[in-house]
Copies of this chain bind each other. A is one copy, B any other.
Amino acid sequence: MRIIINKVTQRPPHAPISERAIEERLAGSGARFTSGRRQVVAALSGADGPRSAAELHEEMGGEVPVSSVYRSLAVLEQAGVVEPHHGARGLTRYEMAEWLAGHHHHLVCESCGGVEDIELPKQLEVELERLVGKVSGLSSFSASGHALEVDGRCERCR
């Protein structure tokens, strides 16, 4: 997976993550920002799309055992630092929470199953939000967020 989006929409690989804010969030859950968790956060905020526990395990050099990666992810999710994303073949991948990584959407490749982030130009995002607003007006479902998934083939698989 590589970012192939043009400059306007490309999401910076390293969003300016606030270590401080994360530490506070964790503290709020009575948890510490340990080295293992820092590594997960680092790997995740440097990624161009959601990552599974196994992918993170590998990207982190295989030092930290997978079970610990899972535990880190669970704690970080609990604290609202990362968010799960359910994709191809029942794999659960995680990404930094919206308040840290910014709101974005996904391009899902139906061939390789990879996922790339895409940030909509403000105007389109505004349109989309307006549209979602109308949708929730249609049902007794109380909407709190939305995600647009665009399916197709990534450049590599075309």
Contacts and interface: CB of A to CB of B under 8 A. Distances in A.
Number of this chain's copies in the complex: 2
A5 B134 CA distance: 13
Interface string A94-138: 000000000001010110000010101100100110011011101
B148 A152 contact: no
A5 B153 CA distance: 33
Contact of A153 (B121, B141, B146, B147): B141
Contact of A90 (B91, B110, B120, B148): B91
Main secondary structure of the interface of A (DSSP, over half): mixed
A147 to B, nearest CB: 5
Contact of A132 (B91, B143, B148): B148
Interface of A: 4-6, 8-9, 86-92, 105, 107, 109-110, 116, 118, 120-121, 124, 127-128, 131-132, 134-136, 138-155, 158
